[in-house]
Amino acid sequence: MSRIPKVWKFDAPAGQDAATVRRIRDEIRRRVETLIDELTPTT
């Protein structure tokens, strides 16, 4: 398992339209889910 820190860059949602904020939110969710999968031990 890699211990290299993840650095994620996103557009700031402040002042963006709703569709852009949803896109940012969905991308964050996807990356977090991927990270959880990477950190969850397999048996």
The percentage of residues in the chain with a pLDDT greater than 70, rounded to a whole number, is 95
22 confidence band (pLDDT: 50, 70, 90): very high
Judge whether residue 30 has pLDDT over 60. yes
Output the pTM of the full model.
Answer: 0.76
For residues 1-29, give the mean pLDDT: 89
How far is it, in rounded angstroms, from Cα 11 to Cα 14?
A: 9
43 confidence band (pLDDT: 50, 70, 90): confident
